[in-house]
C-alpha cells in the first residue's frame, strides 16, 4: 500500500428478449411463466426454464489484480514483495490462499496468476486486467484503492469520480475479453484502523517515515485537530471508494463485492506485518483469504 512515488524507488429484438436482457443486467433470475395468456384465449404460458446460475462457486482458475496487499508486501521481509504469501494466489501453507482453498495446493500454482503490483492505484488496474484476461481465468480477484487514498496529502487523493471511471474501465476491459469470467471485489481496508493499531510500535513508525501512506501515517503520534481531520478525510475517501466498488460491481451479474468485510475486519497485532505494522502479515493474509473464500463459495452474495 505504498504511495506510487515512494516504492523502491490498469441495442430491435422481440420484447421477451429485451426483458430477459434487462433482468440479467439487474443480476436476478428471469424465470417467466407468470403472465396470463393473451386476452380471449384460454392458453396458459408455459414456465420458462430457470437459467443456469450465474455464479460458479468452484472456479477452476484464478487471476489476481490490485496492489501491494495482493503481492504480499512486507509479509515475509522488510520492504519486499512476497507473492507466495498473497491472500489471493500464494502458496504458503500458513496463508492457505484463495487459490489453494479453491483449487487445491497441487493445482493452484499452475492455475492462478498474480498481476497485482506494489504501489498500484485504480488507474493501473485496467492494464492489469487486460494481462489477466489473456490467461482466461474463471475468477478474477480485485483489491485496489488503498494507494488512491495513500498519497502525500489529502488533496492528492484520487477523486471519487475518477476512481469510478477507472474501475468501470477495468471491468469493461475484462468483459470485452471474457463475458463470463467471475469477479470478486474486495473492499479497501480501513486505513485509519491500521494506523491506530500500528502507531503503538516504534519500529513500525520508523518504517512509516520512509513514505508508507503519508496521508494517513505521517506524524503518527499527532492527535491535534489538523491531524484528526486529515485522517478522517482519508477514511471518508476510503468509504466513498468502497461505495463505488459496490455500485459498479452490483451492475455486473458475475461480480461479487465483499459487502465491506475487509473494511470492517479488525486487524490486530497478529494480522499486521512485523516490519511495517500496516500491511498484512501472513496471518492477516490468511484472514483475507478466509474472507474471500467465504464470499466466493457462498450460495448468495453478501447482503
Beta bridge partners of 139: 62, 182
- What pLDDT, on the 0 to 100 scale, is given for residue 23? 34
- What pLDDT, on the 0 to 100 scale, is given for residue 303? 82
- What pLDDT, on the 0 to 100 scale, is given for residue 87? 98
Of 26-35, 96-105, 282-291, the one with minimum mean pLDDT is 26-35
What span, in angstroms and rounded, lies between the C-alpha atoms of 259 and 295?
A: 9
pLDDT tops 90 at residue 176: yes
User: Where are the domains positioned within the chain?
Assistant: 4-10+56-297
CB-CB contact of 100 with 29 (8 Å): no
- What pLDDT, on the 0 to 100 scale, is given for residue 35? 31
Mean confidence (pLDDT) of the chain: 86
- What pLDDT, on the 0 to 100 scale, is given for residue 53? 55
Beta bridge partners of 63: 113, 140
What percent of the chain shows pLDDT beyond 90? 79
Among the listed residues 151, 193, 167, 188, the one whose alpha carbon sits nearest the alpha carbon of residue 249: 167
Q: Name the pTM for this structure.
A: 0.82
- What pLDDT, on the 0 to 100 scale, is given for residue 145? 98
Beta bridge partners of 256: 184
What span, in angstroms and rounded, lies between the C-alpha atoms of 303 and 301?
A: 6
pLDDT tops 80 at residue 14: no
Q: Once rounded to an integer, what is the mean pLDDT over residues 98-120?
A: 98
- Which helix (H) or strand (E) segment holds residue 183: the answer is strand 182-185
pLDDT tops 50 at residue 170: yes
Q: Which fold has domain 4-10+56-297?
A: Rossmann fold (3.40.50)
CA-to-CA separations, 65 to 36, 188, 248, 263, 293, in angstroms, rounded: 48, 13, 17, 18, 16
pLDDT tops 90 at residue 12: no
State the burial class of residue 76 (Cβ atoms within 10 Å of its Cβ: 0-12, 13-18, 19+): middle
- Of the two residues 189 and 48, the one the predictor is more confident about is 189
Amino acid at each position: 500500500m505504498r504511495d506510487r512515488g515512494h516504492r523502491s524507488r490498469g441495442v430491435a429484438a422481440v420484447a421477451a428478449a429485451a426483458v430477459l436482457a434487462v433482468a440479467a443486467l439487474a443480476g436476478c433470475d428471469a424465470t417467466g411463466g407468470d403472465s396470463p395468456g393473451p386476452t380471449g384465449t384460454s392458453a396458459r404460458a408455459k414456465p420458462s426454464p430457470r437459467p443456469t446460475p450465474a455464479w460458479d462457486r468452484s472456479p477452476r482458475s484464478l487471476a489476481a489484480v490490485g496492489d501491494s496487499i495482493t503481492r504480499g508486501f512486507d509479509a515475509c521481509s522488510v520492504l519486499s514483495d512476497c507473492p507466495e504469501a498473497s491472500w489471493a494466489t500464494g502458496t504458503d501453507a500458513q496463508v492457505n490462499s484463495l487459490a489453494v482453498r479453491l483449487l487445491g495446493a497441487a493445482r493452484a500454482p499452475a492455475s492462478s496468476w498474480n498481476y497485482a503490483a506494489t504501489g498500484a492505484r485504480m488507474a493501473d488496474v485496467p492494464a492489469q486486467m487486460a494481462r489477466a484476461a489473456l490467461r482466461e481465468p474463471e475468477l478474477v480477484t480485485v483489491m485496489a484503492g488503498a494507494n488512491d487514498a495513500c498519497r502525500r496529502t489529502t488533496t492528492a487523493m484520487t477523486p471519487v469520480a475518477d476512481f469510478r471511471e477507472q474501475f468501470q474501465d477495468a471491468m469493461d476491459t475484462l468483459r470485452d475479453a471474457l463475458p463470463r469470467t467471475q469477479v470478486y471485489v474486495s473492499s479497501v481496508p480501513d486505513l485509519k484502523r491500521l494506523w491506530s493499531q500500528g502507531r503503538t510500535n516504534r519500529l513500525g513508525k520508523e518504517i512509516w517515515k520512509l513514505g508508507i501512506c503519508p496521508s494517513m501515517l505521517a506524524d503518527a503520534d499527532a492527535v491535534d485537530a489538523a491531524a484528526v481531520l486529515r485522517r478522517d478525510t482519508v477514511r471518508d475517501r476510503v468509504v466513498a471508494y468502497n461505495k463505488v466498488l459496490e455500485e459498479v460491481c452490483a451492475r455486473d451479474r458475475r461480480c461479487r463485492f465483499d459487502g465491506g468485510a475487509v473494511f470492517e475486519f479488525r486487524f490486530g497485532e497478529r494480522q499486521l506485518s512485523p516490519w511495517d505494522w500496516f500491511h498484512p502479515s501472513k496471518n492477516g493474509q490468511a484472514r483475507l483469504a478466509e474472507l474471500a473464500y467465504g464470499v466466493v463459495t457462498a450460495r448468495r452474495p453478501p447482503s
